[in-house]
């Protein structure tokens, strides 16, 4: 297991309720891929969303987001944290 | 005070020691601007770094990073978190 940061663009105007619903969908789908989504942050003005997860691979992170209907634009391994 | 996510690009090959030193510089400089840098994550393969902070404004976040010698490429207010 490792840490991943994924990025979604184009979600201008996202609401707190929409972010919560998207995160709940990820939590419902993550078990099948051995992923856990820990936190997410959104900037509604630019439409950027970041999700922090623990996962076995980038592909596993993306599979969960795809299953939830919101594939990420970027998935990054973040082996360095402070 | 609000949450901010800032992004640095171009730090390909960043090491754990370099990330720690950069974060320590931010902690040393943050008080003057009323900012607190909480966490940071780096993908050394793409050179992207994300920093999460509590701050009074985007400008305050950037001033601290500039004082530390590593201005951010993007500073986002992230009023939505989950």
Average pLDDT in chain A: 98
**Average pLDDT, stretch B46-61?**
98
In-domain check, residue A82: no
Residues 6+ apart with CB under 8 A from A5: A50, A51, A52, A53, A75, A76, A78, B41, B43, B50
Q: Do B41 and A15 touch (CB under 8 A)?
A: no
pLDDT for residue B18: 98
The minimum CA-CA distance between B74 and chain A, rounded to whole Å, is 11
Q: What is the ipTM of this complex?
A: 0.94
Any idea what the Cα angle at residue A52 is, between residues A46 and A55, rounded to 5°? Answer: 140
In-domain check, residue B72: yes
Q: Which two tokens stand for residue B11?
A: 């730090």
pLDDT for residue A53: 98
B28 in contact with chain A, both atoms CB, cutoff 8 A: no
CATH number at residue A11: 3.30.70.3090
Q: Do B79 and A15 touch (CB under 8 A)?
A: no
In-domain check, residue A12: yes
Cross-strand pairs, A76: A5
Q: What is the pLDDT of residues A6-65, one digit of tens each?
A: 999 999 999 999 999 999 999 999 999 999 999 999 999 999 999 999 999 999 999 999
H/E run at residue A13? none
Please, which residues 32-71 of chain A have a Cβ atom closer than 8 Å to chain B? 39-46, 48, 50, 52
In chain B, the percentage of residues whose pLDDT exceeds 90 is 100
Q: What is the residue range of B38's domain?
A: 2-77
pLDDT for residue A42: 98
Report whether B15 contacts B44 (CB < 8 A).
Answer: yes
Cα A29 to Cα A24, B47, B66: the distances in Å are 9, 30, 41
**pTM score, whole prediction:** 0.96
In-domain check, residue B15: yes
pLDDT for residue B47: 98
Q: How many domains, chain B?
A: 1
In-domain check, residue B82: no
In-domain check, residue A15: yes
Q: Do A42 and B3 touch (CB under 8 A)?
A: no
Residues 6+ apart with CB under 8 A from B45: A77, B12
Q: What is the pLDDT of residues A50-74, one digit of tens each?
A: 999 999 999 999 999 999 999 999 9
């Amino acid at each position: 297991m490792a840490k991943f940061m994924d990025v979604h663009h184009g979600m201008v105007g996202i609401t707190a309720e929409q972010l919560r619903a998207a995160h709940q969908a990820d939590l419902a789908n993550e078990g099948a891929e051995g992923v856990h989504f820990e936190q997410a942050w959104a900037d509604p003005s630019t439409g950027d969303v970041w999700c922090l997860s623990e996962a076995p691979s980038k592909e596993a992170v993306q599979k969960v987001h795809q299953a939830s209907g919101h594939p990420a634009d970027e998935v990054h391994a973040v082996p360095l944290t402070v």
